[in-house]
Chains A and B, each alone.
Chain A
Amino acid sequence: MSDASTTESYAPGTHPDLPPPLLESGAIYWVRKNLLSSWTNIGLTIAGVYALWLIVPPFYDWAFADAVFTAADRSECQSLGDGACWAFIQERFTIFIYGFYPEAERWRTIVTFALLFVAIGPLLFDNFPHRGKAMLFSLSYPFIAAWLLLGGFGLTPVGTDEFGGMLLNLIVGITGITFSLPIGIVLALGRASQLPAVRIICISFIEFIRGVPLITLLFLASTMLSYFLPPGTSFDLLMRVLIMVTLFASGYLAEVVRGGLQAIPRGQYEAADSMGLKYWQSMRLIVLPQALKISIPGIVNTFIGLFKDTTLVIIIGLFDMLGMGRSSLADAKWAGLSSEVYISIAVFFFLFCFAMSRYSLYLERKLETGHRI
């Protein structure tokens, strides 16, 4: 075979592909193409490697190699290693997750979140078994969750002031997300409405919400909302926060949905009109299904933003995960471990939000196929 004298002849077009030249394939080629293709490229690579060298090894040493995972207090940590003191996080872990929620009742929060996954299943995946019936459960989920978390009707009541930690972030985030969606859609429709009064009101509301920082709205909730209620009444701080967060998110969602509405070609509206559909019929059957589909990535992004913003509740004195972390820093036994606390909370949020943003990308790609003008 390897004998050079043997020659074979091929009919035109039937010659098998030869392997590419050595420098045009494999790892070397990849490196040349992606890292060293030009002088600027080489410079960038060197700068990149240098930056990595500056960041990664010290961080690895601090977070893993020299870190202490079990210790009774800060001084023991320091004697065991000069890296991060994760023992602190380990000790406080449950309080970061559950806040002040009574220990005996914590199973209820776990059940609530287990059910949450069951409830969002049919909303996220088209091919969920028995999707129709499962949807009913999804719709009733907020009430079930409220019952489980707050108690009553056979369960020990738990006050909202005992909510805290990650539990609080999730409650505020998920409630805000769930209830802001319908309000946001109504606002977006109102903004696109042909009735000037409705339009002006919706625009003012949306612009007001979007023009003001969330923390001033939260301040409003904590300081001023009770002024606007009949004298002598007041309701729970968490409830007020939930209302404000919902209104806040709905302002942003309205803009996302408006983008979707504008992307629907006029022909769709006209076709719906010419079929004799009433306004709500044409919205429900023709316009919204298409508009919402386009705006799903934007909606998910709003949700991510909202979830991150749930940390702001510490400014009005609720103890979310960040608040728990900060207050635990007050412990004299563990003084000075703020980096450990902040980084572990950052990792937690990253995991949640990154997963959501991946999902939004997946949707974007899935929806890319049709409905693009």
Chain B
Amino acid sequence: MASIDTPAPPSHSNRPSAHSDSGDRNLLARLWYDKKTRGVLLQILTVALLLAFVSYITSNAIANLELLGKTFSFDFLSEPAHYDINQTLIEYSSKATHLRAGIVGMLNTLLIAVCGIILATILGFLLGVLRLSPNWLVSNMVYCYIEFVRNTPVLLQILLVHGLVVHVLPKPRDALEWANISDAVFFTNRGVFSPMPLPQDGFGWVTATFVLAVVGSIIFARWAKKRQDETGQHLPVFLISLGAVFGLPLLAYLLAGSPLGWDIPELKGFNFRGGFVIRPEFLALWIALSLYTAAFIAEIVRAGILAIDKGQWEASLAVGMSRSRTLNLVIIPQAMRVIVPPLTSQYLNLTKNSSLAIAIGYMDVVATVGGITLMQTGKEMETMIIVIGFYLSVSLFISSIMNWYNNRIKLVER
């Protein structure tokens, strides 16, 4: 604004005068005043500074390691870890290597991230839509929820939920009286125990049918879309696919003579044995992270829906579509373009926040490699490099998937 008159003088004396002076100035000054060379010089300077900085800290690190008599090597990864982990997705015992312990931790991080992203997305979309509901009461309740969750630290929420899970749910021996569903699913503060399916002979047929049904549904959906484009006829693709994906395997299951046994948890000694267990640490972290992220996603969804022109609503309602159909077919597909970029960063945040697992004793990558392994071997530098490298690759992976998705829905625009 005020800038318009101040810079006026230099604009006059720009090119010609610089040229006329050039004879008097030395080479360096001339180079400096040339935009291109200056750019190159600046970059060389920047890179040189950076390299100097890096070599400075590297030499310091080498000197420090030498002083402490430590070496830099990843050999410790092949040594036995000697510690036990309570939630392992792959086979693991205390005789396994540190590397395997690290992989167990990484898988646990990925598990919490994937489960959290799914639940947070569902909850977030639900809350976002409810926030825009014409119902005053519900909309304001959701508003209070969102504001409270967004404005308190997530670590606090994790601790609070963990405290509730451990203190409110009964101990295994009391779980027989309450907190059980038909003596098969038990809620205890040692975890949620539910029956685990055990496939038996002939179950392969059911799996095969399921795969076939999924493939068939995809082909069917493509065909139906093409048909709709050509003839305008609309087929209930979703319902038919749903029926095929769940109904056909069920049919196969019955025909094959129910080839599925159930491992039902039983109270033996201190704990329930058998069945499928969700540990309380996982449960608390999962609930807390999902609730927290859902509040942010709800706001993103709300903003995305509000960003769609009112005319879209009006046009769609005028054509005679119902409110929910308008939302599903007109508004949300368009809103997705606004929603996806910030949604990506929420997914990344959730993944990164899962590192707070350490506060409640969930054995993620920070707790295994960056925690116990670091402690037992004293390899700070190496373990931190592994942890950081892992998070960076996960972040890159999520961003690239979301970028791909974003580009795909962008094409719909024009």
B392 within 8 A of A: yes
**Do A277 and B384 have beta carbons less than 8 Å apart?**
no
Q: How far is the CB of A218 from the nearest CB of chain B, in Å?
A: 10
Are A231 and B10 in contact, CB atoms less than 8 angstroms apart? no
> Among residues 374 to 396 in chain B, which have CB atoms less than 8 Å away from a CB atom of chain A?
374, 380-381, 384, 387-388, 391-392, 395-396
List residues 123-151 of chain B with CB under 8 A from any CB of chain A: 130, 133-138, 141, 147-148, 150-151
- Is B39 touching A195 in the complex (CB atoms < 8 A)? yes
Closest to A286 in B: B3
Pairwise interchain contact B358-A34, C-beta atoms closer than 8 A: no
A44 within 8 A of B: yes
The contact of A285 among B3, B134, B147, B153, by CB within 8 Å, is: B3
Other-chain contact of A41, B46, B61, B134, B151 (Cβ < 8 Å) = B134
Q: Are B11 and A44 in contact, CB atoms less than 8 angstroms apart?
A: no
Among the 9-residue stretches A88-96, A103-111, A160-168, A341-349, the one with 4 or more Cβ atoms under 8 Å from chain B is A341-349
DSSP class of A's interface residues: helix, strand, loop or mixed? helix
What is the number of residues of chain A that contact chain B, defined by CB distance less than 8 Å?
65
Cα A45 to Cα B136 in complex, Å, equals 8
Instruction: Give which listed residue, B63, B148, B156, contacts A322 with CB less than 8 A.
Output: B156
Q: In whole angstroms, what is the CA distance A308 to B358 when docked?
A: 18
Q: For the complex, is B336 an interface residue (Cβ under 8 Å from A)? A: no
Binary interface encoding of chain A residues 331-373 relative to chain B, with 1 for a CB under 8 A from any of its CBs, else 0? 0000000110011011001101110010000000000000000
Contacts of A339 in B (CB 8 A): 160, 163
Known: A216-B388, A339-B163. A211 touches B396 (CB 8 A): yes
**Pair B156/A345 contact, Cβ less than 8 Å:** yes
Whether the Cβ atoms of B163 and A338 lie closer than 8 Å is yes
A239 at the interface (CB under 8 A from B): no
B85 neighbours in A (Cβ, 8 Å): none
Which single member of A45, A214, A231, A281 contacts B138 (CB below 8 Å)?
A: A45
Chain B proximity mask over A207-234: 1 for CB below 8 Å, otherwise 0: 1101111111001100110111111000
CB distance from B82 to the nearest CB of A (A): 21
Given contacts A44-B137, A231-B63, A346-B160, contact A216 B391 (CB under 8 A): yes
Residues of B within 8 A of A227 (CB): 60-61, 64-65, 380-381
Interface residues on chain B, number (Cβ under 8 Å): 64
- A350/B358 contact (C-beta < 8 A), A45-B137, A197-B46 known: no
Query: Which of B179-187, B226-234, B347-355 touches A?
Result: B347-355
Q: Does B315 contact A (CB under 8 A)?
A: no
Minimum distance in angstroms from B395 CB to a CB of chain A:
4
How far does the Cβ of A234 sit from chain B's closest Cβ, in whole Å? Answer: 10
Chain A hits for B67, CB < 8 A: 231
A229 to B61, CA, bound (A): 7
**Shortest Cβ distance from residue A89 to the other chain B in the assembled complex, whole angstroms:** 15
Write the chain A residue with the least CB distance to B380.
Answer: A223
A11 within 8 A of B: no
Q: Name B356's closest neighbour in chain A (CB-CB).
A: A215
Q: Which of B46, B138, B366 interacts with A44 by CB under 8 Å?
A: B138
CB distance from A220 to the nearest CB of B (A): 6
Question: Which of B3, B60, B63, B135 interacts with A48 by CB under 8 Å?
Answer: B135
Interfacial chain B residues near A150, Cβ < 8 Å = none
B270 shortest CB reach to chain A, Å: 23
With an 8 A cutoff between CB atoms, is A159 at the interface? no
For residue B42, CB closer than 8 A to chain A, the reply is yes
A interface vs B, CB < 8 Å?
Answer: 34-35, 37, 41, 44-45, 47-49, 51-52, 194-198, 201, 207-208, 210-216, 219-220, 223-224, 226-231, 275-278, 281, 285-286, 304, 308-312, 314-315, 322, 326, 338-339, 342-343, 345-346, 349-350, 352-354, 357
Kindly list the 4 A-B residue pairs having the minimum CB-CB distance in the complex, ordered from nearest.
A276-B11, A211-B395, A34-B136, A285-B3
Q: List the interface of chain B (C-beta within 8 A of A).
A: 2-4, 6-8, 10-12, 14, 39, 42-44, 46-47, 50, 57, 60-61, 63-65, 67, 130, 133-138, 141, 147-148, 150-157, 159-160, 163, 348, 352-353, 355-356, 358-359, 366, 370, 374, 380-381, 384, 387-388, 391-392, 395-396
Q: Told that A210-B395, A215-B358, A224-B384 touch, could you supply 17 new A-B pairs with CB distance under 8 A?
A: A34-B134, A44-B133, A47-B138, A207-B395, A212-B392, A215-B355, A216-B370, A216-B391, A223-B380, A224-B380, A275-B8, A276-B14, A304-B151, A308-B151, A322-B159, A338-B159, A346-B160
13 contacts between A and B (CB under 8 A): A35-B135, A35-B137, A44-B138, A49-B137, A195-B43, A214-B352, A215-B358, A223-B380, A227-B65, A275-B4, A275-B11, A285-B7, A353-B151
